[in-house]
Structure formats: C-alpha cells, structure tokens
C-alpha cells in the first residue's frame, strides 16, 4: 500500500486506531479522523513515534460541513484518498421501549449518518479518478437481534445496506465497497458493557438470559484481528470483491 492515502474515522481508539496502525504498517499515509481531539492526538503521537505516516484531522462525522471540509483538507494535505474506512461508532444501551429520542438520534447520527456523510464526501472525490475502496465497520449485530441494543443493531443494519447500495452504484467506476462485521472485540466499547469482572467470561461463554450465544473459538477478538480483515478488503487481494460482509466474530453468530 505504498503511496496510497487512507482516511479512517473513529481513529482515536479501539478498532479505528488498530486500522490506522495496520494501514500505516502496510506503507499507506493515513488521515486519522475523530472528534475526540485529545485521544486522537495521543494515538497519532504514538503511531508517528513508531515511524508511521499518520496525520490527525479533528472533526465530527455527524456534521456535514465539517465532513466536507475535512475531506477536502485531507486531499489538499496528503493527496487523493484511495481508501476510506468508516470505523466511528457509538453504543447506547437500553430497552427498545425505554430509549430516549436523544439516545436514538445520537446512535444513528454517528453509526449511520456519519457513514453516509463521510462516504459521500470521499466517494464523490474518488469517482472522477475511477478508483478507490471503502470499508464500513459494522457489527455482527447488524443481522442478529440483541437485548438492550435495538438502536445499535438498527443503526448498523442501516449502515450495512447503505454501503452495499453505494457499492452497487459505484461498481462501474471501479470503486469497491465492503463491510467488516466484528463480534465481541476487546475495545473500550465492549468493556463499557461489562458490569463486573465476570464480563469477559460471560461474553465468551454466552448468556441464556440474554439469548446470546457464546464464542465458539472461546476468545474475544483483538482490534488487530478486525483491522487485518479491513486491510484485506482494501487490498488488491480483494480486487474482485464488493458489496460483501466479512464477519469477524469467532463463530458467535454461527456463520449467519
């Protein structure tokens, strides 16, 4: 991926940060995007100290004007964007009948509208060049009902179908759009769901009360496991793959 430019959202931590590192290690120049200015600064500082070509771009993916200006700034400073990774995401837990409108709007704002806005801004710049690849990081919850996660599941399902439709419309331009759907991954988002020290064990073993299967591989994913899948789908090794969802969940959804 030498001489390629990638833009990654949600880059301050978790899967997004792992994707930035993985792309940088493959030789790409990476625009790391996040609204968490301090977290982004610390992450980029670590990556550049390791010799990777990474630059921070502080913006909110839910703000249309910021996204459009940010996409322009990335291309002005780093060059034409070859790869877009939509990894920004938020989680609001709660029963479907008790979620607030703010919970719903905040979840869809980042997980769905953010994907739309950033994809539109970047892909419109890819079209005249007739090249590019997009990967949206969704979740295995996009197609599997989860207790207390209705907003999250619905937002990820919407982002999935948007990305597939985008892939269909841009295929004639040689632009590929794919998805990576992680399961339980050792990130700050997953840890925020744990109530006590039994959280990791319960996640791996599953919970009958929550109608949740365990993980057949008997381990949590690492953020780097998900990043590896993202890099594959962006790479020339996946040159004939588009509108595809690659699930990285250790078998938790039984291949569904």
Residues 138 and 70: their CA atoms lie apart, in Å, by 22
The reported pLDDT for the residue numbered 181 is: 98
Please state, in angstroms and as integers, the Cα–Cα distance from residue 227 to each residue in 14, 30, 92, 184, following that order.
Answer: 10, 14, 23, 14
Which domains are seen in the chain, by residue range? 5-184+224-243 (3.40.50.720)
Checking if the pLDDT of 61 tops 80, the result is yes
Ramachandran class of 245: left when φ > 0, alpha when ψ lies in -120 to 50, beta otherwise? beta
The reported pLDDT for the residue numbered 194 is: 79
Over residues 103-125, the pLDDT tens digits come to 999 999 999 999 999 999 999 99
Cβ count near 198 (within 10 Å): 10
Dihedral of the alpha carbons of 185, 191, 196, 197, in degrees to the nearest 10: 50
Q: What are phi and psi of 199, to 5 degrees?
A: -50, -55
The reported pLDDT for the residue numbered 211 is: 86
Checking if the pLDDT of 195 tops 80, the result is no
Residues 238 and 57: their CA atoms lie apart, in Å, by 28
Residues 96 and 156: their CA atoms lie apart, in Å, by 15
Q: Which residues are catalytic?
A: 152
Model confidence at 161, pLDDT cuts 50, 70, 90, reads: very high
Q: Which residue carries 């739309």 as its tokens?
A: 116
Mean pLDDT confidence for 132-157 = 97
Average pLDDT of the residues of the chain: 96
The reported pLDDT for the residue numbered 35 is: 97
The reported pLDDT for the residue numbered 138 is: 98
Checking if the pLDDT of 177 tops 90, the result is yes
Checking if the pLDDT of 193 tops 80, the result is no
The reported pLDDT for the residue numbered 187 is: 87
Q: Residues 95, 247, 200, CA angle at the centre, nearest 5°?
A: 55
Q: Is 141 exposed, middle or buried (0-12, 13-18, 19+ CB in 10 A)?
A: buried
Q: What is the pTM of this model?
A: 0.95
Least confident of 85-99, 136-150, 161-175, 189-203: 189-203
- Percent of the chain clearing pLDDT 90 (strictly above): 88
Mean pLDDT confidence for 130-139 = 98
The reported pLDDT for the residue numbered 179 is: 98
Mean pLDDT confidence for 149-175 = 98
Q: Which residue has the higher pLDDT, 63 or 198?
A: 63
């Amino acid at each position: 991926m030498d001489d390629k430019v990638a833009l990654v959202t949600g880059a301050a931590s978790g899967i997004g940060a792992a994707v930035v590192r993985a792309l940088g290690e493959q030789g790409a120049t990476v625009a790391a995007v996040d609204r968490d200015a301090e977290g982004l600064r610390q992450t980029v500082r670590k990556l550049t100290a390791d010799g990777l070509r990474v630059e921070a771009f502080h913006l909110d993916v839910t703000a249309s004007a910021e996204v459009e200006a940010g996409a322009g700034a990335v291309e002005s400073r780093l060059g034409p964007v070859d790869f877009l990774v939509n990894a920004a995401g938020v989680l609001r837990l709660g029963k479907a009948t008790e979620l607030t409108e703010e919970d719903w709007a905040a979840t869809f704002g980042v997980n769905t509208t953010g994907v739309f806005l950033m994809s539109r801004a970047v892909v419109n710049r890819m079209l005249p060049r007739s090249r590019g690849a997009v990967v949206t990081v969704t979740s295995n919850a996009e197609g599997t009902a989860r207790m207390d996660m209705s907003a999250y599941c619905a937002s990820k399902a919407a982002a999935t179908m948007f990305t597939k439709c985008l892939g269909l419309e841009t295929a004639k331009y040689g632009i590929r759009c794919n998805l990576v759907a992680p399961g339980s991954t050792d990130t700050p988002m997953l840890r925020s769901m744990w109530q006590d020290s039994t959280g990791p064990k319960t996640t791996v073993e599953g919970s009958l009360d929550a109608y949740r299967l365990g993980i057949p591989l008997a381990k949590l994913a690492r953020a780097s496991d998900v990043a590896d899948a993202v890099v594959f789908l962006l790479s020339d090794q996946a040159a004939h793959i588009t509108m595809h969802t690659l699930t990285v969940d250790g078998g938790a959804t039984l291949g569904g």
